[in-house]
Amino acid sequence: MRMDKRSWIISGAVFALALAFTVFCGISITNMTDSGKNAENESEEIALESGETEDEADAAPSLEEPSAEEAVSEVPQSESAGSTAVTRLTQEELDTLLANYDNTVQTYYASGERDSENRAQSCFTFEDQFLLNGLNVRIFNDYTKHRASLTFILLYEGGYTEKLLDELSELSVKATFFICQNYAASYPDIINRMISEGHVIGSVGASNAEGGLANYGLIDQMNDIANFDDFMMANYNYKMNLFYPAYDTVSICQAAMVEKMGYTYCLYSANYMDYDATSVIDTEAFREAMTGKAHNGVIYSFHTCNSASIDIIPGLINDLQAQEYEIVLID
């Protein structure tokens, strides 16, 4: 059948439209493919600029001592696996803590006037701040009981720890040792001995952050404490539950976070200026001063970097036992 001129024109127009549509779709698909490749290339360039490779992203965390200054880009969700897993807080939970608790950094001290029970007034000043915020902090180990507790800050090895453990073993006394991750990684024999002999190991956090962990962001503090907790579980199968704020830098907000993570915030009610390894300390005056600070529930704090702190321990224990103090671990 022959087609008239009008039909030919219509058929030509339809064919032209169809051809144009086909060409348009082909161009669009090509552009979409190119855009996808460009986006993928841009992502690879960003990764290279940040110094992170695919292999590094999948690598296991380093066992080296973490730094509190390092930025943390992601906050893990809250998790708890019975009594063996530390609780990591969400960003929302951390923000709530900052909104509800004072994050002002203070320097703790146990000195000044003493009450009728021989307890330094400054201890109550700080304890009241924590109690008013509903926090369970150990400054005393129950001052309704005639007992004493020994704690040692062990951030690096001064060469005296084995001697101290020998002294404690001979006198059948248990103590608490607050350590950092670098120490735990460097002295496994000492750590294993502490555990096997019934001493308690507490945390100052992984990094022993300069100036005290309280000076850093809350998320960095949380991860510093949690990372060390993970390290002790992985390497010693040991769950820590006591935390001491090194350098005596404290905050109400930090104490609240530590408690929410499953730790008890520990301070002390009697100490001495024994933190300088090079200082010469009169051991007789040192022992007399520490014995003179005894009171119900006293928590003693020593630094193991100075030999004098180790030398006075047998005499101090004898003095306390002569006054019928029971020497116990922190509850």
Query: pLDDT tens for residues 272-329?
Result: 999 888 889 999 999 999 999 999 999 999 999 999 999 999 999 999 999 999 999 9
What are phi and psi for residue 76, nearest 5 degrees? Answer: -65, 155
What are phi and psi for residue 301, nearest 5 degrees? Answer: -125, 125
Both 50 and 103 in a single domain? Answer: no
72 found inside a domain = no
Query: Is the predicted pLDDT of residue 80 greater than 90, yes or no?
Result: no
| Measured distance CA(45)–CA(26) in Å, rounded | 29
61 found inside a domain = no
Q: What is the mean pLDDT of residues 147-170?
A: 96
User: Which residue did the predictor score with more confidence, 310 or 34?
Assistant: 310
* Confidence (pTM): 0.76
User: Which residue did the predictor score with more confidence, 288 or 17?
Assistant: 288
Query: Is the predicted pLDDT of residue 9 greater than 70, yes or no?
Result: no
Both 156 and 49 in a single domain? Answer: no
Both 95 and 51 in a single domain? Answer: no
| Measured distance CA(215)–CA(65) in Å, rounded | 18
Both 288 and 145 in a single domain? Answer: yes
Query: Is the predicted pLDDT of residue 74 greater than 60, yes or no?
Result: no
66 found inside a domain = no
Over the chain, what is the mean pLDDT?
Answer: 82
What pLDDT is stored for residue 329 in this prediction?
Answer: 98
In sign, the C-alpha dihedral spanning 185, 310, 247, 103 is positive
Both 244 and 95 in a single domain? Answer: yes
What pLDDT is stored for residue 27 in this prediction?
Answer: 42
Both 107 and 224 in a single domain? Answer: yes
User: Which residue did the predictor score with more confidence, 48 or 104?
Assistant: 104
In terms of average pLDDT, the best of 14-23, 67-76, 220-229 is: 220-229
What pLDDT is stored for residue 33 in this prediction?
Answer: 43
164 found inside a domain = yes
Q: What is the mean pLDDT of residues 14-29?
A: 44
Are 69 and 220 in contact, with CB atoms under 8 Å apart? yes
What pLDDT is stored for residue 73 in this prediction?
Answer: 29
209 found inside a domain = yes
User: Which residue did the predictor score with more confidence, 136 or 28?
Assistant: 136
Both 173 and 276 in a single domain? Answer: yes
> Residue 29 is part of which domain span?
5-55
Query: HSE (CB half, 13 Å, CA atoms) of 326?
Result: 11
What pLDDT is stored for residue 85 in this prediction?
Answer: 84
Both 295 and 193 in a single domain? Answer: yes
What pLDDT is stored for residue 47 in this prediction?
Answer: 34
Both 268 and 316 in a single domain? Answer: yes
Query: Is the predicted pLDDT of residue 246 greater than 80, yes or no?
Result: yes
What pLDDT is stored for residue 331 in this prediction?
Answer: 87
What confidence category does residue 30 fall into, taking pLDDT thresholds of 50, 70 and 90?
A: very low
Q: What is the mean pLDDT of residues 223-228?
A: 97
Query: Is the predicted pLDDT of residue 119 greater than 60, yes or no?
Result: yes
User: Which residue did the predictor score with more confidence, 280 or 57?
Assistant: 280
Query: Is the predicted pLDDT of residue 155 greater than 80, yes or no?
Result: yes
Quote the tokens at residue 257: 């976070």
User: Which residue did the predictor score with more confidence, 183 or 32?
Assistant: 183
| Measured distance CA(111)–CA(286) in Å, rounded | 15
Q: Which of 111-115, 229-233, 250-254 has the lowest mean pLDDT?
A: 111-115
73 found inside a domain = no
What pLDDT is stored for residue 46 in this prediction?
Answer: 30
How many CB atoms are closer than 10 A to CB 18?
10
Tally of structural domains, the chain: 2
Both 112 and 253 in a single domain? Answer: yes
Query: Is the predicted pLDDT of residue 130 greater than 60, yes or no?
Result: yes
